[in-house]
Amino acid sequence: MREISLEEFEPPCRLTLEKAQKAISGKYFHYARALLLGLLDHYPNCPELRLKLRQVTVLIHERGLPHMWAWLQTTAISLFYLFRHSPLRQINSLERVLLGTPDFVWAHRKLAKIAFSKELWKTAVLSLEAIVTLNPGATRDKILLSKAYLKTGKTEEAQSLIRSVLGQPAENTQPDYSSSTKG
């Protein structure tokens, strides 16, 4: 299973994507979200599309679902698709939960876990970045994010993240011995 980019869309889907982008420009965010959801059903393994959908969701997010309701939805979706062995559909369903509650860390963790297991690294990066943004003290998630960064070729970001976990300064990784005193 591999992730695809927006450039790989078939011509009719590219037209739909253009309509969605025009809708965003015209501030018709609900229409744009509906178009993007349709595309996501057709291309469930496109992280760029997921990012656009999340961006539109943030723009139209007025009132989120209570976290308990979002947790119940996420659990039900996970159990349902666990028995159907359909990770891409499970990811799409979790993405729909995140439309209502974009700051729901547990759904992001489930989504990242599935993406890791299927080697959908860019999808994992999206959710792990959200987790680290929402919960800056999440050391384990930072380590997972650095691994996903490495898998996507973002070595500088991975190194910076690991340095922050280890408590080293981001700029200078070499110890400064010039100020040491001789005994």
Q: Assess if residue 1 is contained within a domain.
A: no
- pLDDT at residue 179, rounded to an integer: 43
Domain assignment present for 171: no
Does one domain contain both 17 and 76? no
Q: Is the pLDDT of residue 172 over 50?
A: no
Task: Tell me the per-residue pLDDT of 111-141, one tens digit each, with 9 for 90 and over.
Answer: 899 889 889 899 899 899 989 888 888 889 9
CATH of the domain at 144: 1.25.40.10
160/75 same-domain check: yes
Q: Band of the pLDDT at 58, cuts 50, 70, 90? A: confident
Residue 54 has what pLDDT?
84
Say yes or no: 38 and 19 in one domain: yes
CB environment 30-52: b (16+ within 10 A), e (fewer): ebbbebbbebbeebbbbbbbbbb
Separation of CA 115 from chain center: 9
Overall size of the chain counted in residues: 183
Whole-number mean pLDDT of the chain?
A: 78
Does 106 have pLDDT greater than 50? yes
Residue at token pair 């070729």: 153
My answer on whether 45 and 71 are in the same domain is no
Greater pLDDT, 183 or 98 = 98
Rounded Cα–Cα distance for residues 130 and 143 (Å): 14
What is the arithmetic mean of pLDDT over 167-182? 46
Instruction: Determine the pLDDT at residue 155.
Output: 92
Would you say residue 71 lies in a domain?
Answer: yes
Smallest Cα–Cα separation from 112: which of 120, 104, 100? 120
Above 80 in pLDDT, residue 10? yes
Q: Do both 14 and 87 map to the same domain?
A: no
pLDDT for residue 66 is more than 60 = no
Alpha helices in 8-65 (DSSP H): 11-25, 29-42, 47-60
Which residue range is the domain that position 124 belongs to?
67-166
* C-alpha pair distances (Å), 47 with each of 37, 76, 95, 180: 13, 23, 11, 49
Residue where one domain finishes, among candidates 40, 60, 80: 60
> Cα dihedral angle (42, 47, 51, 52), rounded to 10 degrees?
-40
Mean pLDDT comparison of 23-27, 103-107, 151-155, highest-scoring range: 151-155
The reply to whether 182 falls in a domain is no
Q: What pLDDT, in 10s, does the model give residues 13-30? A: 899 899 888 888 887 777
pTM: 0.58
